[in-house]
A = this chain, B = another copy of it.
């Protein structure tokens, strides 16, 4: 019938994604407040900031202060995002940040061109050079990502064969450089996926690389995020990226139509209600989601934060 895992691992990306897109300005102390609150929910991976150009991303002009200011909870791996050497250098100087390298490509060459101004050939060279850089800094390289793995605004539907080619490419690059890909991330970068395409793509990747751990990065642009996560769970996927309260998406206010990652507390609800362990305290996480809404000052897309968990009804019966 299905192949639901016993437990899953969730990477929280809400702070990094959310504070990047929010019109703000949001005080540094409040960003830290959210990260500290998330650290107490049982989440084991939190991406806390983006080391990018303050000119391009004013929301992260205070990335250094945020990263220096939050409380390190033992057992939680904190990570940051960088897009170039400058960003990497800023990140390398910080204590208590998990520094891991990753490589990436896209199942749509057109999207990659628009996004990074590279073709496939050039990207291969860039990825190899990045592995060299990471290894030179003593950083492990364990993650490989395929963007636009389920469809592309420029190319339309993306054939499964293109995804497999992209994965082969990354595997070859990793093999050539002697690093092992622990997690292969398949990203629905532009919100094209639906459960059947999740099954098709994950199934095809699994058939060629049966032992490869797969992560899903699901944007919720068209409301399919939770259904897609469920389809992934049915295929035995155990790693998901997500954003508390749906931070990063803001369909109801300034960024109408934009949408971030699937909402963390909705994902936790889905898993826990089906008996899949997330390690996360749902009610605590709902409090974080409400805090996030308070911090950004407008409604966020999450559902469970508004509908509430079921624990109070169950407790009333116990």
Q: How far is the CA of A227 from the CA of B230 in the complex (A)?
A: 7
A:1-50 near B, CB below 8 Å: 1-2, 4
Contacts of A154 in B (CB 8 A): 313
Q: A303 and B222 in contact (CB under 8 A), knowing A230-B195, A275-B196?
A: yes
> A306: CB under 8 A from chain B?
yes
Contact with B along A271-302 (1 / 0, CB 8 A): 00111000000000000000000000001011
1/0 per residue, CB under 8 A from B, across A228-267: the answer is 0111000000000000000000011000110100010010
Question: How often does this chain occur in the complex, in copies?
Answer: 2
Measured between alpha carbons, how far is A270 from B224 in the docked complex, in Å? 7
Bound form: Cα–Cα A195–B230 in Å: 8
Instruction: Answer whether residue A59 sits at the interface, using C-beta atoms and an 8 A cutoff.
Output: no
Q: Is the CB of B303 within 8 A of A259?
A: yes
Report the bound CA distance from A263 to B226 in whole Å: 14
In the complex the two chains form, is A274's CB within 8 Å of B196's CB? yes
Check if A153 is an interface residue, CB within 8 A of chain B: yes
Task: Check if A58 is an interface residue, CB within 8 A of chain B.
Answer: no
Assess whether A221 is in contact with B307, with CB atoms less than 8 Å apart.
Answer: yes
Output the nearest chain B residue to A298 by Cβ-Cβ distance.
B252
A88-122 contact mask (Cβ, 8 Å, vs B): 1 or 0: 00000000000000000000000000000000000
Q: How large is the interface on A (under 10, 10 to 19, 20 to 34, 35 or more residues)?
A: 35 or more
Question: Which of A199, A306, A310 has the most C-beta atoms of chain B within 10 angstroms of its own C-beta?
Answer: A306
A289 to B153, CA, bound (A): 23
Q: Which residues of B contact A152 (CB under 8 A)?
A: 313
- Contact check, A313 vs B153: say whether CB atoms are below 8 A apart: yes
**Is the beta-carbon distance between A314 and B251 smaller than 8 angstroms?**
no
Report A110-159 residues with CB < 8 Å from chain B CB.
Answer: 151-157
B-side contacts of A156, CB under 8 Å: 310, 313-314, 317
Taken together as a complex, chains A and B put the C-alpha atoms of A156 and B317 apart, in Å, by: 7
Please, how many angstroms separate the alpha-carbon atoms of A304 and B314 in the complex? 33
A231 to B226, CA, bound (A): 12
A304 to B191, CA, bound (A): 10
**Is A60 interfacial (CB-CB < 8 Å)?**
no
A-B contacts, 21 of them at CB < 8 A, read: A152-B313, A155-B317, A194-B270, A194-B273, A196-B275, A221-B307, A222-B304, A222-B308, A223-B226, A223-B263, A223-B266, A223-B302, A227-B229, A227-B230, A251-B299, A251-B306, A251-B307, A252-B306, A257-B307, A259-B303, A299-B299
**Could you list which residues of chain A lie within 8 angstroms of chain B, going by C-beta atoms?**
1-2, 4, 151-157, 191-192, 194-197, 199, 220-224, 226-227, 229-231, 251-252, 256-257, 259, 263, 266, 269-270, 273-275, 299, 301-304, 306-308, 310, 313-314, 317
Q: Which 6 A-B pairs have the closest CB atoms?
A: A223-B303, A251-B306, A221-B307, A227-B227, A196-B274, A223-B266
